[in-house]
């Protein structure tokens, strides 16, 4: 079946992605594309037959295409959300777009891209709607290109809103919206709720992705479970302000529209200029939310993150041990202990540069503090490398303190509005990265830091949102927010091109910058500043809905936890961190020998299962975190099926209740699996039905890690196999 098929006489296209199809049809009266089908794969003939269905009945003073337009342009009797809004020089806002043609372009060896082109009937406006279909995924990637096609001297036009895509959902029995919400230290809280009639608006006005919401949503008919049901999902690859509108109309048509920018952000296009929106990715899957997540994980590994086949190292981060009390001697002692317990990457956090002894000074002055590092960073880096570890460094290059040499030299470099107070947060300002000179300074500063020091890893932080955002340069539009993100991407891209061995962790006070756009340029994300293991189970559950484990940094830190005051066992903390990219933030200088030995064992056990956790297929098991049920778990199955890892967590116990057996997923029913620790052998069919006995330790906050290896077929299956293979 071709990826993109066209029925010219019917003005219809079928985009086939894996076992799913998205069908587009141009209206006879308005030339605008309608989403005719999104779901199971259809042939071209089957898709054409959809045109035989009767149209919806006309209602007074309404355009019946409202809520069905794949390119939802403002105009006429349409009153739903308009994903494309343009204001022309004479004040006209309605668009009258005519279809002018299409083309199909080959993208790589196996992928195809459909481009539908439209032009306004009067004004010099050209719109291209792009659809890329991947051969190995049900993902469809979309974006818009909006161009002022006028000649020199023509009037500019103002793009008020340009969503990357409007995804038209099929008519369902009901509509349930899945999303994550949160706040600092409580990111990724999963919510599933009936989609209200009208417009449900998610987004960020903060200039970053934000802790409060994440730019994706999933919709089902209200009956999907973790293992059953059809799920429709869409995400936006953008690391700045964004908006997602889930629209449900009284006619029970529904759509998801995603785009950069939250409030109207007019962008002026002079003649010949064009605007290209970020990617929006849509995905239809069957098999419940678990299957949807696994398909997203596969797509992100294959087409988003750099170096997907690498194993992320076990890291140590010095922040919770030392905070700003940084010195060569102290960091060297921590590095010695980190190496002794099996750490592979030592990361020195804040406090190493400029006049930085607390959070009031030094941001922007990215040279080693001469009092703390009189010989620069080289002695510490050489010591770390001599211990067999890589060296990482914390930076926050998008910020400056008023008490810094950078600010004293360039006070005009911060984001601010003339004649208005500049808001400080955390004693710092945001540098105006939208300015080319600031972007050049940032690249040159970081490039010099990397060239002068053998740094393997950057923890790239961004600790406050944008405020007082005004015009960029002499323009009278709102391009600063989009130019900020575009220049951020350019700086990171240039650094990675010039330093190909460099690896980067995205951090923004935790999970404030997590999206497909930043993941295309970084290797992992610090999911939350909250390292409380109980809270982390819920945060990581929400994270896993879209993003794979190999991108999620998770640490073991001290107890009682500094955020919650909760006391949890070391094994519980270690098992929670083992669900992603294992890290240690414990004050190793304060650990006794028993604690160090146990940390070493936890790291050794994690390394044994790391390929399965980071590269395997993930299944969420048991109860959702926070539910009345007591046990929640996550399972990873190796791609070749030979190994599986189960991490199970139980916060409290009930009198007289035995630990439940946990039904596993993704195993071969006829195979045998041996527990790597106990040696006990399990039948695959029994693990899939009755479940895996957990035998959790006594007490609150109990957990376990179980590593199973496939060892062969059961006796009955072996006899059958021999009988089949021995036939004449």
Tokens of 185: 């230290």
Tokens of 9: 């006489």
Catalytic residue among 111, 456, 515, 529: 529
Q: How far apart are CA 100 and CA 119, in angstroms?
A: 7
Of the candidates 166, 209, 214, 165, the residue with the CA atom closest to the CA atom of residue 188: 214
Tokens of 365: 């002055």
Known catalytic residue at 529: yes
Sign of the CA dihedral with 631 first, then 637, 642, and 645 last: negative
Residue 562: C-alpha distances to residues 457, 473, 530, 565 (Å): 26, 44, 9, 6
Residue 321: C-alpha distances to residues 102, 448, 501, 504 (Å): 59, 28, 28, 22
Please, are residues 22 and 169 in contact by the beta-carbon 8 Å criterion? no
- The residue whose two tokens read 């599986």 is 644
CA angle 329, 333, 338 (to 5 degrees): 145
For 436-447, give the DSSP string.
Answer: HHHHHHHHHHHH
Helix (H, G, I), strand (E, B) or coil at 620: strand
User: Which DSSP symbol is given to 575?
Assistant: H
Q: How many CB atoms lie within 10 A of CB 274?
A: 14
Phi/psi-derived region of residue 676, left when phi > 0, alpha when psi is between -120 and 50, beta in every other case? alpha
Q: How far apart are CA 148 and CA 127, in angstroms?
A: 9
Known catalytic residue at 461: yes
- The residue whose two tokens read 């089949």 is 724
Catalytic residue among 350, 456, 461, 478: 461
- The residue whose two tokens read 């061995």 is 501
User: Which DSSP symbol is given to 122?
Assistant: S
Name residue 673's beta-bridge partners.
682, 710
> Exposed, middle or buried by CB within 10 Å (0-12, 13-18, 19+), for 6?
middle
Q: How far apart are CA 145 and CA 115, in angstroms?
A: 10
> Exposed, middle or buried by CB within 10 Å (0-12, 13-18, 19+), for 384?
buried
User: Which DSSP symbol is given to 700?
Assistant: S
As annotated, the active-site residues are: 461, 529
């Amino acid at each position: 079946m071709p990826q993109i098929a066209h029925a010219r006489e019917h003005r219809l296209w079928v985009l086939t992605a894996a076992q799913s199809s998205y069908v587009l049809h141009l209206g006879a009266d308005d030339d605008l594309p309608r989403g005719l089908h999104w779901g199971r794969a259809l042939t071209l003939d089957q898709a054409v037959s959809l045109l035989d269905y009767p149209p919806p009945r006309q209602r007074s003073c309404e355009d019946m295409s409202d809520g069905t337009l794949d390119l939802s342009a403002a105009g006429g009797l349409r009153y739903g959300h308009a994903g494309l809004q343009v204001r022309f020089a004479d004040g006209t806002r309605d668009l009258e777009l005519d279809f002018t043609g299409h083309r199909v372009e080959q993208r790589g060896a196996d992928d195809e891209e459909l481009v539908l082109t439209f032009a306004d009937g009067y004004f010099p406006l050209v719109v291209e709607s792009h659809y890329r279909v991947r051969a190995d995924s049900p993902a469809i990637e979309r974006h818009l290109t909006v161009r002022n096609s006028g000649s020199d001297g023509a009037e500019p036009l103002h793009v008020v809103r340009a969503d990357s895509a409007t995804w038209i959902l099929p008519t369902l029995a009901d509509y349930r919206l899945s999303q994550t919400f949160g706040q600092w230290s409580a990111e990724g809280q999963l919510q599933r709720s009936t989609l209200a009639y009208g417009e449900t608006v998610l987004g960020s006005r903060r200039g970053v992705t934000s802790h409060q919401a994440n730019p994706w949503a999933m919709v089902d008919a209200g009956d999907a479970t973790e293992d059953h049901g059809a799920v429709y999902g869409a995400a936006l690859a953008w690391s700045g302000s964004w908006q997602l509108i889930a629209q449900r109309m009284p006619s029970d048509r529904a759509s998801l529209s995603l785009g950069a920018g939250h409030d109207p952000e007019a962008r002026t296009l002079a003649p010949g200029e064009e605007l290209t929106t970020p990617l929006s990715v849509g995905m239809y899957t069957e098999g419940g939310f678990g299957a949807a997540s696994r398909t997203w994980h596969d797509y992100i590994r294959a087409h988003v993150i750099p170096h997907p086949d690498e194993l992320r190292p076990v890291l140590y981060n010095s922040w919770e041990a030392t905070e700003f009390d940084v010195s060569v001697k102290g960091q060297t002692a921590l590095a010695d202990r980190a190496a002794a317990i099996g750490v592979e990457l030592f990361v020195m956090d804040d406090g190493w540069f400029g006049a930085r002894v607390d959070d009031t000074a030094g941001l922007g002055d990215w040279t080693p503090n001469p009092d703390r590092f009189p010989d620069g960073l080289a002695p510490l880096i050489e010591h770390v490398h001599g211990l067999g570890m890589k060296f990482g460094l914390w930076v926050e290059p998008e910020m400056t303190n008023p008490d810094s040499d950078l600010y004293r030299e360039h006070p005009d470099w911060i984001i601010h509005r003339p004649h208005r107070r500049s808001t400080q947060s955390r004693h710092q300002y945001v540098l105006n990265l939208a300015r080319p000179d600031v972007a050049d300074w940032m690249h040159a500063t970081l490039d010099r830091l990397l060239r002068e020091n053998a740094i393997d890893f950057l923890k790239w932080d961004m600790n406050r949102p944008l405020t007082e955002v005004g015009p960029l340069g002499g323009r009278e539009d709102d391009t600063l927010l989009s130019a900020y993100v575009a220049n951020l991407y350019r700086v990171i891209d240039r650094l990675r091109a010039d330093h190909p061995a460099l690896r980067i962790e995205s951090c923004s006070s935790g999970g404030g910058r997590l999206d497909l756009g930043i993941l295309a340029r970084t290797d992992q994300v610090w999911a939350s500043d909250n390292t409380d293991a109980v809270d982390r189970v819920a945060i990581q559950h929400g994270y896993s809905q879209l993003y794979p484990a190999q991108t999620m940094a998770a640490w073991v830190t001290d107890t009682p936890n500094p955020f919650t005051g909760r006391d949890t066992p070391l094994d519980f903390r270690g098992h929670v961190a083992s669900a992603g990219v294992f890290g240690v933030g414990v004050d190793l200088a304060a650990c006794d020998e028993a604690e160090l030995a146990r940390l070493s064992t936890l790291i050794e056990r994690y390394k044994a299962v790391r390929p399965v956790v980071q590269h395997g297929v993930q299944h969420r098991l048991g109860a959702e975190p926070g539910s009345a049920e007591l046990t929640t778990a996550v399972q990873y199955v190796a791609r070749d099926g030979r190994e599986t890892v189960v991490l199970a967590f139980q916060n409290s116990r009930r009198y007289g209740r035995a630990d439940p057996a946990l039904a596993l997923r993704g195993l071969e029913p006829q195979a045998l699996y041996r527990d790597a620790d106990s040696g006990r052998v399990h039948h695959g069919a029994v693990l899939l039905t009755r479940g895996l006995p957990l035998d959790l330790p006594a007490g609150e906050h109990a957990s376990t890690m179980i590593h199973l290896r496939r060892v062969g077929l059961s006796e009955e299956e072996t006899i059958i196999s021999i009988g089949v293979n021995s036939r004449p």
